[in-house]
Amino acid sequence: MTTAERTHRMIDDAHGISDTRHCISSADFNVDDLRQLFQLAEQCARFAGDERFSSLLNNKTVATLFYENSTRTRVSFELAAKRLGADTVHLSADGSSIKKGETLNDTLDTLIALGCDAVVMRHPISGIAKKAASFLGSRAALLNAGDGCGDHPSQGLLDAFTLHQYFKGELAGKKITIVGDALHSRVIRSNLVLLNTFGMEVHVCGPVAFVPKHFAPLGCLIYHKLEDALNGADAVMALRLQQERQQSGLIASLGEYHREYGLTLDRLKQWAKPNAPIMHPGPMNRGVEISSTLADCPQRSLIRRQVSNGLLVRQALLIRALIPQTIPEILSW
Ligand code: NCD
């Protein structure tokens, strides 16, 4: 068992069962956990609308607590909970007592007192999800929906699931090139762990300011020239230019960034493997890190598939967090 697993696997004293509840980092998952999670996500697709599925989380309440903006992550966690029959409640920093200065722990205590079983939390501070999880202990499951530049496990997992589907489970030895603002991206940190777990060769490309040398030990080869990084890639992933997290002056201009590192259909055709698919976690800066023609290319783009897979993977994560003892039965359906 890894340290991360030990940290997050807890004994529920009240029920005397070993319970895997929190989901803090993609490092919480070994290959077997990942295969099981993906099977669970596939069952969520197969049994969508089936009454056995839509009542799995009856009597459970899932809170989405967002201190940062979100579209895909928030909506898909909320829909995932609803599809499984849970009650949901949303709290954003704007429009709640957080605005009046309430501490995170007091907000978490309030959600617990109101009967929440899981808290899906997005927060601008890296590492805070782990602290929130240890504050909650076994009172509720904490699912990290992105903490600063730290981790974004559900995004990493839906990306890995999408690749696993696309390559029919044959990920080992495939080359994936990730292009963009790695420095400020929590998505890439979650992806590096998972793609390496599946034995993929990961190439990361961007300007020196966004792809510093210290990324290499995280399990990737570093490039600053797009042509070299895309050469022979089986799949390509664009990262958003995270302008809200950057100091100014890191790049000369958006136009110049697009000229040097923008992903276009022509560039993929020229340098990557034939038909290599393109991924992007969203939201996209069209015309900056990715051209609209590529983003909307039906033969190449997996971007919408990523979003719909997000709903399945997040259902699987909620099942794992709230009713882990039911997983063998669900997989046997
Ligand atoms: C990502 C995030 O918030 O980290 N978006 C998402 O969850 N789909 C990526 C990003 O904001 O660039």
Structure confidence by residue, pLDDT tens digits, 55-100: 999 999 999 999 999 999 999 999 999 999 999 999 998 878 888 8
- Give CA separation, 85 vs 166, 184, 273, in Å: 29, 36, 43
Please write the tens of the pLDDT for every residue from 267-293.
999 999 999 999 999 999 999 999 999
| CA dist., res. 315 & res. 188, Å (int) | 22
Residues making up the chain, counted from first to last: 333
Band the pLDDT of 252: cuts 50, 70, 90. confident
Ligand 1 pocket check: which of 68, 69, 155, 181 to mutate, most ligand atoms within 8 Å of Cβ?
155
Ligand 1 atom at minimal distance to the Cα of residue 239: 12
Report CA dihedral (48, 188, 269, 173) to the nearest 10 degrees.
-80
| CA dist., res. 332 & res. 2, Å (int) | 28
How far is ligand 1, taken at its centre, from the CA of residue 116, in Å? 25
Ligand 1 atom at minimal distance to the Cα of residue 281: 8
Ligand 1 atom at minimal distance to the Cα of residue 68: 3
Find how far residue 203's CA is from the centre of its chain. Answer: 19
Instruction: Evaluate if residue 179 carries a pLDDT over 70.
Output: yes
**Mean pLDDT over the full length of the chain:** 92
Protein residues with CB under 6 Å of any ligand 1 atom:
72-73, 146, 152, 155, 186-187, 240, 242, 281-282
How far is ligand 1, taken at its centre, from the CA of residue 278, in Å? 16
The predicted pLDDT at position 20 comes to 53
- Residue with CA at minimum distance from ligand 1 atom 12: 240
Collapsing DSSP to helix, strand or coil, 194 comes out as: helix
Please write the tens of the pLDDT for every residue from 26-51.
999 999 999 999 999 999 999 999 99
List the end-to-end C-alpha distance of the chain, in Å, as a whole number: 29
The predicted pLDDT at position 244 comes to 77
User: Which residues is 236 bridged to in the sheet?
Assistant: 177, 278
Question: Could you check whether the bond before residue 212 is cis, i.e. omega within 30 degrees of 0?
Answer: no
| CA dist., res. 282 & res. 238, Å (int) | 9
DSSP string, 313-330: HHHHHHHHHH-GGGHHHH
pTM of the model: 0.93
Ligand 1 pocket check: which of 64, 151, 240, 288 to mutate, most ligand atoms within 8 Å of Cβ?
240
Which of 237, 180, 186 has the alpha carbon at shortest distance from 209? Answer: 180
